[in-house]
């Protein structure tokens, strides 16, 4: 009887024992959660020799002075670009011009947001009561409140990262207080490789999260650094994506810079993997630079048709805004490009000098309307001189003041 009982129980006990052991082991194998080790975002800087011919201090001051933050609120996108250009420390000694901190608070505090966008503006962030995720109100053409929305997916998060915002920074929304960390957590959880406008997600990833890789997003899909790079280097066309596809290149150089900051790899396998990523990005960038050399107009600018090579020089349909948009964005990523990438200095000098002339000559109305693209161009000039825009502007202004009033 006992033997008979044991005979029946044996298979069950056998399986239960081994499966129990497997469960204990399996618990320790779970690496699907994203862990954020750093609190401060990475700062990516210019890594080339500074050539003063690119833009003089005087020219830099002149263009910066024209790009001061707007005195009147127009839309969220303009404020985002202003914050990105000037940084949170900027002070303009003029009550009408919002300071850098005020600009940053617009994105961190609903009270500051409502002060500028209007008290009846719908909130910029919404906290999901179930999950605690922080969702940003995104832009839609039919939305009557679109001007106060976020224009591109995760562009706010990427800008907060660029301006050195810690993950512990408080985010005061209409639904309650949270932190920037939750905003990042939501963005990384929602990140996937069919995402439209993937660029700002990649920038946020590079500045806050890299080299973390292999976590699973909210859908359970694995997100790896290799996949992020594959997504960046594998567009349908070179101009695929917002702003002529040029934020893709910006994301690439930021990711490259983040990788450089890591220092040498800890193992040979890791080094090989990282080298593979760098090679893929470098190949893509070389292809672009080769096209830029032949597509640059004699005056120094590029047009939206730049991937067409030489033919792009005679693009009659392009407007000044187009020229500024494309040239500014190109100069910006080139300024942060790795030293392994050969960027002809003459090409850069011609482009920067054209930008300076264009900004000085353009009237105020055009400048305000195209604040975003112009701010990219001016930021590029500062990067090429390895100067912080606000510091460059403040120092030159100080010098001017002391020259005018030696006493």
Partner 1 sequence: MSNSTASNSPAASGSARDIFPPVPRPIRSSDYVPQTSGATLAAVVALCGVFLLTSLNRLNHTDFWGHLCYGRWISQSGQLPSSDPFAARTEPAQPAGRFVNVPWLAQWSAYELYRLGGPQSLVFAHAAMAMAGCGWLMLAIAARGVRPGGAVAGGLVMYLLALPTMGTVRPQLWGVVAFPLVLLGISLLPRRSHPMFWLPVMFTLWANLHGSFILGLGVLAIWVLVSAWHVGQSTEDVGRWRPFWLIALCVIASCLNPAGPQLLVQVASFGGNPALEKIVEWGPLVIKSLGGVLFFGSLLVTCFVIRRSSRQFQAGEVVLLIIFGLFSLISLRMLVWWSILWPWVLVPHLLSCWPRRWETQDEPEYPDASRGTMRTLYALGCILVVLCWSPSSRAFITGQTRRMGELTSSDTPLYVADQIRWRKLTGNVFCPLDWGDFLIWRSDGAIKPLVYSHVHLVQPEVWDDYLRIYRGDRNWTQLADQHGLNYLVLSRTRNDTLRRDVEQHPRASILYQDEQSLLVQLLTAAPGQTNQASGSL
CB of 23 to partner 1, least distance (A): 5
- Quick one: DSSP state of residue 41? P
* Size of the residue set binding partner 1 (CB under 8 A): 34
Choose the stretch contacting partner 1; rule: CB under 8 A; options: 2-10, 161-169, 323-331, 392-400: 2-10
* Contact stretch for partner 1 (CB under 8 A) within 13-21, 45-53, 368-376, 396-404: 13-21
d(Cα 34, Cα 259) in Å, to the nearest integer? 18
**Is residue 11 within the footprint of partner 1 (CB under 8 A)?**
yes
CB closer to partner 1, 12 vs 404: 12
Structural contact between residues 137 and 144, judged by C-beta atoms closer than 8 angstroms? no
239 near partner 1, rule: CB under 8 A: no
Burial class for 204, CB neighbours closer than 10 Å (0-12, 13-18, 19+) = buried
Closer by beta carbon to partner 1, 109 or else 145 = 145
CA 223, CA 31: separation in Å to the nearest integer? 12
Site string for partner 1, 316-345 (x = CB under 8 A): ------------------------------
User: Under a CB-based contact definition with an 8 Å cutoff, are residues 160 and 207 in contact?
Assistant: no
Among 52, 120, 196, 263, binds partner 1 (CB under 8 A): 196
Binding of partner 1 at residue 264 (CB under 8 A)?
no
**What's the min distance (Å) between Cβ of 124 and partner 1?**
15
**Interstrand relation of 176-179 and 215-216 (parallel, antiparallel or unpaired):** unpaired
Angle value at C-alpha 169, between 168 and 171, nearest 5 degrees: 120
Q: What is the DSSP letter of 308?
A: G
Residue 54 Cβ vs partner 1, minimum distance, rounded to whole Å:
38
Q: Is 16 in the site for partner 1 (CB under 8 A)?
A: no
The smaller minimum CB distance to partner 1, of residues 97 and 147, is found at: 147
Among 1, 37, 93, 219, binds partner 1 (CB under 8 A): 219
Beta bridge partners of 216: 222
Among 217, 239, 280, 395, interactor with partner 1 by CB under 8 A? 217
| C-alpha distances out from residue 91 to 57, 65, 98, 227, 389, Å | 19, 13, 8, 41, 12
Nearer to partner 1, 16 or 50 (CB): 16
By CB under 8 A, tell whether 144 contacts partner 1.
no
**Of the residues 1, 142, 298, 404, which one makes contact with partner 1 according to CB under 8 A:** 142
The least distance separating partner 1 from the CB of residue 143, rounded to whole angstroms, comes to: 8
Say if residues 162 and 114 touch (Cβ distance below 8 Å).
no
Say whether residue 23 binds partner 1 (CB under 8 A).
yes
Among 66, 216, 357, 397, binds partner 1 (CB under 8 A): 216
Residue from the set 1, 30, 72, 263 that interacts with partner 1 by CB under 8 A: 30
CB 168 within 8 A of CB 179: yes
Alpha helices by DSSP H, 205-245: 225-233
Q: What character string, x for contact with partner 1 (CB under 8 A) and - otherwise, covers 93-132?
A: -----------------------------------x----
Identify the residue among 1, 27, 266, 406 touching partner 1 (CB under 8 A).
27
Q: Closest Cα to residue 350, out of 399, 292, 400? A: 292
Q: Are 192 and 221 in contact (CB under 8 A)?
A: yes
Q: Does 1 sit near partner 1 (CB under 8 A)?
A: no
Distance between CA atoms of 342 and 43, rounded to whole angstroms? 23
For residue 211, is the peptide bond before it cis, meaning its omega torsion is within 30 degrees of 0? yes
User: Does residue 388 sit in helix, strand or coil?
Assistant: coil
Q: Is 213 exposed, middle or buried (0-12, 13-18, 19+ CB in 10 A)?
A: middle
Nearest to 342, CA basis, from 145, 5, 48: 48
Strand partners, 134: 127
Concatenating the DSSP letter of every residue in 96-164 gives TSPPHHHHHHHHHBHHHHHHHH-TTSPPSEEE-TTT--EEEPBP-TT-TTGGGSBSSTTHHHHHHHHTT
Q: Name the segment binding partner 1 (CB under 8 A); options: 8-16, 40-48, 248-256, 361-369.
A: 8-16
Cβ 229 to partner 1 shortest distance, Å: 17
Q: Is residue 174 a contact residue for partner 1 (CB under 8 A)?
A: no
Question: Is 214 a residue that touches partner 1 (CB under 8 A)?
Answer: no
Residues 61-80 that bind partner 1 (CB under 8 A): none
Q: Which residues bind partner 1 (CB under 8 A)?
A: 3, 6-8, 10-11, 14-15, 18-19, 22-23, 26-27, 29-30, 32, 128, 135, 138, 140-143, 192, 194-196, 216-221
């Amino acid at each position: 009887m006992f033997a008979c009982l044991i005979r029946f129980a044996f298979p069950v006990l056998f399986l239960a024992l081994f499966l129990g052991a497997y469960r204990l082991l399996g618990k320790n194998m779970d690496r699907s959660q994203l862990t954020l080790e750093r609190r401060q975002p990475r700062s990516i800087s210019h890594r080339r020799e500074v050539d003063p011919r690119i833009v003089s201090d005087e020219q830099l001051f002149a263009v910066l002075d024209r790009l001061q933050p707007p005195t009147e609120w127009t839309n969220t996108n303009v404020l985002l670009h202003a914050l990105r250009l000037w940084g949170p420390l900027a002070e303009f000694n003029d009550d009408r011009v919002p300071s850098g901190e005020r600009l940053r608070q617009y994105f961190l505090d609903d009270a500051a947001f409502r002060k500028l966008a209007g008290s009846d503006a719908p909130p910029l962030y919404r906290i999901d009561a179930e999950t605690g995720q922080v969702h940003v109100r995104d832009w839609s053409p039919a939305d009557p409140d679109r001007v106060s929305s976020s224009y591109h997916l995760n562009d706010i998060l990427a800008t907060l990262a660029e301006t050195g915002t810690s993950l512990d920074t408080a985010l005061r929304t209409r639904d309650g207080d949270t932190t920037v960390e939750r905003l990042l957590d939501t963005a990384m959880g929602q990140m996937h490789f069919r995402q439209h406008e993937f660029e700002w997600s990649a920038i946020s990833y590079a500045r806050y999260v890299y080299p973390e890789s292999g976590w699973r997003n909210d859908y359970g899909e694995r997100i790896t650094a290799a996949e992020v790079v594959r997504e960046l280097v594998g567009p349908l066309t070179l101009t695929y994506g917002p702003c002529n596809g040029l934020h893709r290149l910006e994301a690439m150089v930021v990711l490259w810079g983040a990788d450089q900051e890591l220092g040498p790899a800890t193992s040979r396998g890791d080094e090989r993997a990282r080298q593979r990523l760098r090679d893929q990005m470098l190949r893509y960038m070389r292809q672009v630079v080769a096209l830029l050399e032949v597509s640059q107009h004699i005056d120094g600018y590029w047009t939206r048709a730049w991937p067409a090579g030489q033919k792009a020089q005679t693009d009659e349909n392009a407007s000044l805004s187009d020229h500024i948009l494309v040239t500014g964005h190109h100069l910006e990523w080139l300024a942060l490009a790795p030293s392994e990438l050969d960027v002809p200095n003459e090409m850069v000098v011609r482009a920067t000098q054209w930008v300076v002339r264009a900004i000085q000559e353009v009237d105020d109305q055009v400048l305000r309307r195209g604040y975003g693209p112009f701010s990219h161009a001016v930021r590029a000039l500062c990067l090429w001189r390895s100067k912080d825009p606000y510091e460059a502007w403040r120092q030159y202004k100080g010098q001017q003041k002391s020259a005018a009033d030696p006493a």
